Structure 1
């Protein structure tokens, strides 16, 4: 079925509380750092159902120094049209909150979208440590 789910954590390495609300802004990049065309949407609609980490309602998360938050991504590696090239991204570019510096995360395993062109993103949630 090609269903994939990945979690990304953000740790507050600063000395002050860090507030996150809602969803991070994401974009994908290929091996050459070029942007990948993908529709990034909140939740799992059109991809799958029953992924609680992605479909959870957004909440305000305040991270004390050393605390972490996570967000989940969901996609399908599915090729529905053999005339359209499959897409693979090794870099996730994340803006944790509006106006924050964008972070680049090079992945060990790629986001292999096939040719679906869809990526579902869940809200930030606190991580218990």
Structure 2
């Protein structure tokens, strides 16, 4: 009876193990989570810009940016922020910024809603969304990536610069959709 032997007893089951779960960003159509606390001093003007969640699928990109009132007085926002993009050398990027998502995609609620007046008490935040396509339509035009956003939250306010963890990779579309300010509901 060659080859007939008793198999070894099974090993004991392993003990409990830790599982790490990586949070996925919320889709850009939903309100982003509350901003993280910052130990940095509050910039001139009493507001700080914070990069929040983003979403990238099949060339369609979206992101939410928040403005936190880190000052001591109420901060009033109305309509749309003034937004521009900069490249890695801080040079302006040529981009057409349009209100809403028309011409880029459809059904993006936080970009296509009517603007409203938003008053932030100290410590409160508001956000706006952006959407673009990473699309190359002309091989003779260089694709554009912008790792820096520059935002004027309201007319006459100091402009805020933010180096993004996930840059705006426009391809060569040269077009970005911008949503209005929306209060962050906690």
Shorter-chain TM-score range: over 0.9
SS of the aligned residue for 1:36 comes to coil
Is residue 2:94 matched to residue 1:37?
A: yes
SS of the aligned residue for 1:53 comes to helix
- Distance, in Å, in 1 between the alignment partners of 2:73 and 2:176 is 32
Is residue 2:108 matched to residue 1:55?
A: no
Per-residue deviation at 1:45?
1.2
- Distance, in Å, in 2 between the alignment partners of 1:15 and 1:36 is 34
Per-residue deviation at 1:128?
1.3
Number of residue equivalences: 129
Q: Which residue in the other structure is 2:64 paired with?
A: 7
Q: Which residue in the other structure is 1:72 paired with?
A: 129
Is residue 2:162 matched to residue 1:108?
A: no
Per-residue deviation at 1:15?
1.1
- Distance, in Å, in 1 between the alignment partners of 2:163 and 2:67 is 14
Q: TM-score, normalised by structure 1?
A: 0.98
Is residue 2:179 matched to residue 1:125?
A: no
Structure 1 segments unaligned to the other structure (5+ residues) = none
Q: Which residue in the other structure is 2:49 paired with?
A: none
RMSD: 0.6
- Distance, in Å, in 2 between the alignment partners of 1:33 and 1:109 is 16
Question: Higher strand proportion, which one?
Answer: 1
Is residue 2:172 matched to residue 1:82?
A: no
- Distance, in Å, in 2 between the alignment partners of 1:16 and 1:118 is 35
- Distance, in Å, in 2 between the alignment partners of 1:14 and 1:91 is 23
Q: Once superposed, which parts of structure 1, at least 4 consecutive aligned residues long, lie more than 6 Å away?
A: none
Structure 2 segments unaligned to the other structure (5+ residues) = 1-57
